[in-house]
Structure 1
Amino acid sequence: MYYFGRKLTVSLSVPAILIVSMARSFVLWLHGLDDSGPANEHIKALFTSSEFRNTVWSFPSAPSIPVTCNNGAITPSWFDIHEIPVTTGSTKDENGMLKAVKHVHAMLDKELAAGTNPNNVFVCGESQGGALTLASVLLYPRTLGGGAIFSGWVPFNSSIIEQIPPGSKKTPILWLHGMADRTVLFETGQAGQHFLEQAGVSCEFKSYPDLGHSISNEELQDLESWIITHLQRSL
C-alpha cells in the first residue's frame, strides 16, 4: 500500500498460538456380533466438540461366518464365539481372532500411510468388537492414541503377553462395562483390566450401574472426553 507517496510494507505475521489447529485424527469403530458398520455410523454425530472437526471415522463390517453360539448360523462376526454369556473361562477362537487382527492392522497401516499421526489414531469397539479392539491395539507394532473397549473381553490366553510389542504397551486403554451385563459378564471385564495390569498396559476402567449389554450416552460422553485428552495438536 502507499501512504503520502511512500510504499509501506505491512507485516501479516500472526503469533503461532493463534494458528494452532487440530491435526487429522482417525477413529476406527468395530461393531459387535450380528451387527454392521453402517448401523453404527450415527455414533459419530454425537461427537460434537470442535476437536473432532478434522476426524475421519471408519465403520467397517465383519464378514459373515458360521458362529457356534448361534448354532452354526451364518452371522456377521469377526471371529467365532462359542458361548453366550461370555465368561473368563469361555473357549477362545484365537486363530480366527488373529486373522481379524490382521485385517484391522491393514486398515491402520493405510491410515498411517495417508499421513495421520499414530498418536491420533483410536480404535473403539463394542462387545466382540471390543475384544477385537483389545487384540488389535495390543498386537500393533506402534503406539496409538488409544483403544476403547465397550463391554468386551480378552479374546486370547495369557501366553500372548509375550507377543505384545513394547510400543503397544504405551497405548492407553479405556474399558467401559455395564455392571448389569448378562451377555459379557461384568466380572469378565474386570478380569480384562487385571490382564492388562499384568501385561504392563495402562487401563482406565469405568463401570456403569444398572447398564446391561449396550452402549449408553454417558459412556459415549466419557469416550469423547477421553479422546480429547489424548489428541495431539499441531501448528
Structure 2
Amino acid sequence: MSTFPQLALFRPIAVLAVLFIATTLIVSFLQSSSPSSSPPIEAAMSRKSFVLWLHGLGDSGPANEPIRTLFASPELRSARWSFPSAPDAPVSCNHGAVMPSWFDIHEIPVNPESPKNEKGVLEAVQNVHAMIDKEIAAGINPKNIFVCGFSQGGALTLASVLLYPKTLGGGGVFSGWVPFNSSIIERITPEARKTPILWSHGMADSTVPFAAGQAGPPFLEQAGIKCEFKAYPNLGHSISNEELRSLESWISTLLQGSS
C-alpha cells in the first residue's frame, strides 16, 4: 500500500530528514496518481467551507500543505485550508527536547492508560477555537468547518471539536487518541454532540497503538456523539492514500448535505 509519509512522534534529530522525505514522496505521488485533468473550479465560486489541518509532534504546518493538492472533489478544491504550526516547547517523552508541540506528551507509545495532560490540551484547544471563531466571523457557516489532524494533531482535533460550543461540519482523527478523562463529557454542549467524527487508525501502529484508537468510539458513544471508525490492517503510524480518499468522500458528502 502506498502511504502518506510517516510523521514521526519522536526521534527529534530525524525531524528534518522526515520532512524532506515527506516532500519528496508527496511530489512523487502527485506525478504518478494525479488525474490528467481535474474538473475546473469556477473563478467566481466563493470559499464557503474551511478545513483546518493539525500536524503531529515535531512536524510543521507548511510541511503538510501539499495534502490539500491530493483532493479532487470540487467541495475540497474550493475550500479554504489552513495549516498552522504548533509552538516550540520541551516534550517530556523526548527527554525535554524542544520541538513543535501542541501540548506535552509524557510517554511513547501512547496507550489508553497513558497519563493525560489535560491542562496543556485545554490551552491548545483555546488556540484552535480562536482560529475557528475567525472563520465564522468571516462568514463561514460552522457546519462547513472541518478540523482534521494526525497523531498529536488528531488528539487535539478530537478535543477541539468536542469542546467547541457549536455544531461543526466534522472532525477527522488520524492515528489519534482521547487526550482527557471521561469527566470532560460534562463540558460538551448539546450542539457539539451533533458534530460527526471520522476516526482512522492503522492496526500496525506502534507509536499510538491501535488500542488507543479503539478507545475512541466507546468514549464518544458515552458522550452521545456519532463516530465512524475505520481500521487499516498493516498500516503503521502514518496516513495512507486510502484514508485520504475516505476523508474526501466523507467531507464532500457532509458538505453536499449541508447545502
- Structure-1-length-normalised TM-score: 0.89
Shift of 1:234: 8.3
- Equivalent pair of 1:143/1:167 in contact (CA under 8 Å): yes
Q: Give CA-to-partner distance per residue, 1:100-158, whole Å, 9 cap, x none.
A: 00000000000000000111100000000000000000000000000000000000011
Partner of 2:15: none
What are the within-5 Å matches in structure 2 for residues 39-188 of structure 1? 39-188=63-212
Query: 1:183/1:234 Cα in 2 relative to 1: closer, same or farther (>3 Å)?
Result: closer
- Equivalent pair of 2:175/2:201 in contact (CA under 8 Å): yes
5+ residue gaps in structure 2?
1-44
Larger Rg: 1
5+ residue gaps in structure 1?
1-20
Partner of 2:220: 196
- Structure-2-length-normalised TM-score: 0.81
Shift of 1:24: 1.0
Partner of 2:58: 34
- Equivalent pair of 1:146/1:173 in contact (CA under 8 Å): yes
Q: Supply the distance in 2 between the matched residues of 1:116 and 1:220 (Cα, whole angstroms).
A: 24
Shift of 1:48: 1.2
Q: Supply the distance in 1 between the matched residues of 2:211 and 2:257 (Cα, whole angstroms).
A: 37
Count of matched residue pairs = 215
The CA RMSD over aligned residues, in Å, is 1.4
Match of 2:251 among 220, 227, 232: 227
Shift of 1:233: 7.0
Query: Which amino acid is the alignment partner of residue 26 of structure 1?
Result: F
Q: Supply the distance in 2 between the matched residues of 1:85 and 1:77 (Cα, whole angstroms).
A: 16
Q: Supply the distance in 2 between the matched residues of 1:207 and 1:234 (Cα, whole angstroms).
A: 27
